Structure 1
Amino acid sequence: MPESARAAVIEEVRQGVTATHGGEGTGRFTDAERMQLAAWDLGAIALHLGDQDFLFGDEPTCADASVAAVLISCATEFFDTPLTGLVRQHTNLVAYIDRMQARYFATVRWPNWPVLEAEPA
């Protein structure tokens, strides 16, 4: 693309991406609204789970595989996100995550990658 047209094309693409993002899903909401929606969703899961071991009783189902995967990702200890705190507010969700990880990921070991630090300025 010619240099003279590059800035205009970049701006047009950005506007298109912004319009698409705002027209679907959570892109229509502010950060605060997205966090409120997440809090409500987590509360609903915690309420449904109650004191059961799994979402629908004593044995895990496909729903547990899906829900646990999302909860494990949201509550990760590897990143500091607001979702981590929201999940960890629910002791039954933390216990659920621990059960699912012990049952399905007990032998999984994360690689011990070296942390890359920026060169001093």
Structure 2
Amino acid sequence: MPKKGGKKDRRLLKPDWQENHVYLVQFPRIKMIPSASPYCLKLETWLRIADVPYTNISNEFKHWSPKGQVPFIELNGRTFSDSNDIIDHLKKELKNPDQRLSSQDDAYSNAIHALIENSLKWVYMYARHKNNKWFFGPDGFGPHTKGLKGALVKIFGKMRFAKEIKNAVMANGIGNQTPAEVVQFAKDQLKAVSVILGDKDYFFGDIPTTIDATAFAHLAQLVYTPQIDPDIKKYMETCTSNLVQFVERVKTRYWPDWNNATQHLYFNSNWKEQR
């Protein structure tokens, strides 16, 4: 029987669903990084960390959650949206990689989450506000926008993304900053995250938890997608190298299919078979 929560008043993309199997609806792959959306990358990485069985479904630039969001999931005949809400639900219903954390650890994790998802992310959002041409270029969604239908997606999708990003960065306030100010802001935020991680493999020791999926997804955007100034990546490599090593560590352990996902836009979720 479908579990409580989520939305059931919509046509499912996967009507013949399997019980307790997650159907992850997200944007198509791109060549720079498995997903240009940190929320899609976070959720898929979390599913791998938690070892939850899932199947990818492309939203094909036309499928959105009832709240107008991507990613979203279908689970047991219901739809759940917002990556953070989805993870919270899955932790209760399926698996919880944070189960070993103390109350103090949970509080600390929430603070790190706020630093990364409510602060650091605006660095690359600012960059995308200033230059989002690559979004639908050959290394972005370009390979998915061929033919007449693809051309329309490219035109209107680009307009939609540009508008949403502009509205977001201007509402946040960072849109009014100069590139030099954003670079300094980036360095300050990266330094803070670097100090918190220290010499640990993951934020809470040797075993990854939810915050590691969050950190990886956002830091990977800084490492693998265009930024406002190359000095940001240089700073990461020289002054916060532990963050670069962290990204590589998570990538190696949970994304053995990284090259297939990016070079060949591989969308299969049987990632363990490629170890």
The two structures have a TM-score, normalised by structure 2, of 0.31
Q: Would you identify which runs of 4 or more consecutive aligned residues in structure 1 move more than 6 Å?
A: none
Indicate which of 263, 266, 272 corresponds to 1:111.
Answer: 263
Q: Is contact 1:75-1:88 (8 Å) kept?
A: no
| Structure 1 residue 79 displacement after superposition | 4.2
- Alignment RMSD, CA only? 2.6
| C-alpha distance 107-20 of structure 1, shift in aligned 2 (>3 A) | closer
Counterparts of 1:12-91 in structure 2 under 5 Å? 22-76=170-224, 79=226, 81-82=229-230, 83-89=232-238, 90-91=240-241
Q: What are the superposed Cα offsets for residues 33-57 of structure 1, whole Å, 9 maximum, x if unpaired? A: 1111110111111111110000122
| Structure 1 residue 70 displacement after superposition | 1.1
* One-letter amino acid matched to 2:236: V
Answer 1 or 2: higher relative contact order, Cα 8 Å, separation at least 6. Answer: 2
Unmatched segments (≥5 aa) in structure 2: 1-165, 266-275
Provide the secondary structure at the position in 1 that maps to 2:257: coil
| Structure 1 residue 87 displacement after superposition | 2.1
State the identity %.
Answer: 31
Provide the secondary structure at the position in 2 that maps to 1:51: coil
Q: What are the superposed Cα offsets for residues 62-93 of structure 1, whole Å, 9 maximum, x if unpaired? A: 111111111111111x6475232232222211
The two structures have a TM-score, normalised by structure 1, of 0.65
* One-letter amino acid matched to 2:242: N
Q: Is contact 1:55-1:63 (8 Å) kept?
A: yes
Provide the secondary structure at the position in 2 that maps to 1:95: helix
* One-letter amino acid matched to 1:111: Q
1:94 aligned partner: 244
Write 1 or 2 for the structure with the bigger share of strand: 2
CA distance in 1, matches of 2:199, 2:236: 16
| C-alpha distance 21-68 of structure 1, shift in aligned 2 (>3 A) | closer
Unmatched segments (≥5 aa) in structure 1: 1-17, 114-121
| Structure 1 residue 26 displacement after superposition | 1.1
CA distance in 2, matches of 1:68, 1:105: 11
Q: Is contact 1:87-1:93 (8 Å) kept?
A: yes
Write 1 or 2 for the structure with the bigger share of helix: 1
* One-letter amino acid matched to 1:54: Y
